[in-house]
Structure 1
Amino acid sequence: MSDIVLKELKKEVKEAGFFVIIADDTKDTSKKEQVVIAIRYCLHGGIHEEFIGVEEAGGLDALGLKRTILNQLGKFGVSLDNCVGPGYDGASVVSGHLSGLQALIRDINPRAYYVHCFAHRLNLVLVDASKSVSVLSKVIRVYRSRYNFITSNVVHKKWVEHQTQQELTIMEFGRLSDTRWSCSARQINMIGLRLPTLINVLKDVASIDMNAQRRTDAKGFLSQLDAAFIRNIHLLATVPSVCKFASDMLQSKTNDLGRAMGLIKSNARCKNQK
């Protein structure tokens, strides 16, 4: 079935004439680095973005990534000569203009101008900006410092039980990412929605839990959820949602460069109005 799908995709890409590759690396469950590759092209007035394969990285340096991408394109049956704009993240190993992946690809095809993923750029700006906003950085700092406690077996069980008793949709605490603002946006929004439940869980643990250390940790967490913290959570709830919408839209398969630029500008105006 996969061979049939890839065969049809290959026909469309060749009919389109030119294409863009989008590549990123990630670790699988066995901690091996995998390179995920998608191909983007315009056909009959429509933009198409399709996954073509995932392959174990031949190395995490620029040469290793180049070999992996060329090998995957070779399997797919298209030539890099028709690639006009590879998209990667902003890591120096891919963005370096002298010896990075983009430079090695342009040695083969000078028209393959590197594009730093707009969604990734937005996320990096927001993550850095959040560190300079004391209100937001304090909320994130509290969340990080209490993450292990709230996700421990005993406390997490109570967290789920309290939501179930209130007939609420179960929301979970997730680990924050240093490069993905959407993770922070999602968790800040979740705390705002489930703040009364969180307070009740902490009060429960602080008063009746048999473990002295958990009781102490719960009391410490409760002390951090003061009036200022609660006010800040509600004030911040709107900003992450606006930014997350922009981040999600920038990852749309049908987006193009003009729309991406317009979205960034409108997002900036919206934040200034806030």
Structure 2
Amino acid sequence: MEKLNLSWKSVLAVCFDGASEMYSRISGVQSRCKGINTKILYVHCFERCLNLVLQDLKNSLMFDFFGTVQLLYNFIEGTRHAILEQISKIVATKLRILKSLSRTRWACRAEAVAALKLFPMSSNIALSQNFEFFIGIELMHPILQMIVKFSKLLQDPKLDILTAMGEVRHLR
């Protein structure tokens, strides 16, 4: 703040993730900020909250689904990618590339599911696969698209707290 020649008295709130170094009232960054300006409010980062909720969802409900998505990626990228590239050149079509999952970046999950959703599968292949997995693709695709849109909105530097709170309610 000093380097930018800004006054701490004009700061209304500080926003951090849930790390104790940040939010601790005794020795965290929040307490240091309040030491300078007692009126500063601490706001837990909505983006981090969203990520924590999604992590719980992944760990409890969707492990098999996302585990299968990652296994498909590992199998194809590890052993079959070059073969698929050759086939796509022969049939003159664009190769759709599966995406690896990320623990914290849900946009990667959205991209991976979107790639699987768009992947052309014959009815014979679909019938031989796990029905729940295909239902998972159909259910998770729109949900993940909403999450990515919401996540990008939360990263907008012009976003104000009231709009963010309204968007949280809307996403729920």
Q: TM-score range by the shorter chain?
A: 0.7 to 0.9
State the distance in 2 between where 1:242 and 1:230 align: 19
Judged with a 3 Å threshold, the aligned counterparts in structure 2 of structure 1 residues 96 and 166 are, in CA distance, closer, same or farther, namely farther
1:227 aligns with 2:152: no
Percent identity of equivalent pairs: 28
Equivalent residues of 1:127, 1:181 under 8 A apart: no
Could you tell me how far 1:115 is from its partner in structure 2?
1.7
Unaligned runs of 5+ in 2: none
- Which residue pairs with 2:35 in the alignment? 107
1:247 aligns with 2:172: no
Judged with a 3 Å threshold, the aligned counterparts in structure 2 of structure 1 residues 190 and 95 are, in CA distance, closer, same or farther, namely farther
TM-score after normalising by structure 2: 0.78
Higher RCO (Cα < 8 Å, 6 or more apart): 2
Judged with a 3 Å threshold, the aligned counterparts in structure 2 of structure 1 residues 188 and 170 are, in CA distance, closer, same or farther, namely closer
The structure with the largest strand share of the pair is 1
State the distance in 2 between where 1:192 and 1:169 align: 14
The counterpart of 1:96, out of the listed 24, 27, 37, is: 24
- Which residue pairs with 1:158 in the alignment? 83
- Which residue pairs with 1:142 in the alignment? 68
Equivalent residues of 2:98, 2:116 under 8 A apart: no
RMSD: 2.9
The counterpart of 2:47, out of the listed 114, 119, 127, is: 119
Unaligned runs of 5+ in 1: 1-72, 201-223, 269-274
Equivalent residues of 1:124, 1:181 under 8 A apart: no
1:193 aligns with 2:118: yes
Q: How many residues align?
A: 168
Equivalent residues of 1:151, 1:173 under 8 A apart: no
- Which residue pairs with 1:41 in the alignment? none
The counterpart of 2:58, out of the listed 130, 155, 176, is: 130
Tell me the amino acid that sits aligned with residue 103 of structure 1: S
TM-score after normalising by structure 1: 0.52
Task: Describe the SS at the equivalent of 1:236.
Answer: helix
1:179 aligns with 2:66: no
Could you tell me how far 1:91 is from its partner in structure 2?
1.8
1:261 aligns with 2:165: yes
Equivalent residues of 1:131, 1:137 under 8 A apart: yes
Could you tell me how far 1:140 is from its partner in structure 2?
0.8
Equivalent residues of 1:127, 1:180 under 8 A apart: no
Judged with a 3 Å threshold, the aligned counterparts in structure 2 of structure 1 residues 107 and 132 are, in CA distance, closer, same or farther, namely same
The counterpart of 2:13, out of the listed 85, 91, 101, is: 85
Task: Describe the SS at the equivalent of 1:151.
Answer: helix
Judged with a 3 Å threshold, the aligned counterparts in structure 2 of structure 1 residues 93 and 163 are, in CA distance, closer, same or farther, namely farther
1:40-71 deviation digits (Å, cap 9, x = unpaired): xxxxxxxxxxxxxxxxxxxxxxxxxxxxxxxx
State the distance in 2 between where 1:231 and 1:181 align: 19
- Which residue pairs with 2:3 in the alignment? 75
Judged with a 3 Å threshold, the aligned counterparts in structure 2 of structure 1 residues 92 and 179 are, in CA distance, closer, same or farther, namely farther
1:127-173 deviation digits (Å, cap 9, x = unpaired): 2123222xx22111123345443333x52323444555453364342
State the distance in 2 between where 1:170 and 1:163 align: 9
State the distance in 2 between where 1:195 and 1:168 align: 12
